[in-house]
Amino acid sequence: MKLIRNLPSAESLVRVLTYAIIIALLAAAVWISLDQPGAPFTDTTGVVETVGRISGGDYGPSKLLATVRLADGTLVHANVSPSVVTATGQVATVRVYRRIFSGNNVYQITGIQARQ
């Protein structure tokens, strides 16, 4: 009978769970916002296979995204810099950034190489 009296009330359990959920959401938001590409970066080359525009919807401008086959054979999706005009079949310079926390790579086309 003594054990039943020492159990926390339902209100306190709900309060603790609410705080735990809020802390978890805040921690996730901080993690995502801090997981930005960081230096140093590397440059590589690849052949542009497809190019398309992704709509920003109501929240921002559209982005140009390309599928690129890198020199090592890896197929990646790369953001296209606004100053770069690219088309299928071109050889592109791709900048590879590594995210700070997750370690994932982010790819961006920074230039197009002249045809030989």
Element containing residue 41 per DSSP (H, E): strand 37-54
Judge if 70 and 42 occupy the same domain: yes
Judge if 44 and 75 occupy the same domain: yes
Task: Please tell me the predicted confidence (pLDDT) of residue 87.
Answer: 87
Q: Could you list the residue range(s) of the whole structural domain that residue 100 is in?
A: 37-112
pLDDT single digits (tens) 46-90: 999 999 988 877 777 888 899 999 989 999 999 998 888 888 899
Q: Is pTM beyond 0.75 here?
A: no
Question: In sequence order, which residues have a C-beta less than 8 Å from that of residue 7 and are 6 or more positions away?
Answer: none
Judge if 105 and 50 occupy the same domain: yes
Report, in this order, helix, strand and coil percent for the chain, each rounded to 5: 25, 40, 30
The CATH number assigned to the domain holding 81 equals: 2.40.50.140
Comparison of pLDDT for 36 and 69, the residue scoring more: 69
For the chain, how many structural domains are there in total? 2
Judge if 18 and 61 occupy the same domain: no
Judge if 19 and 60 occupy the same domain: no
Judge if 46 and 100 occupy the same domain: yes
- The confidence band for 1, taking pLDDT boundaries of 50, 70 and 90, is very low
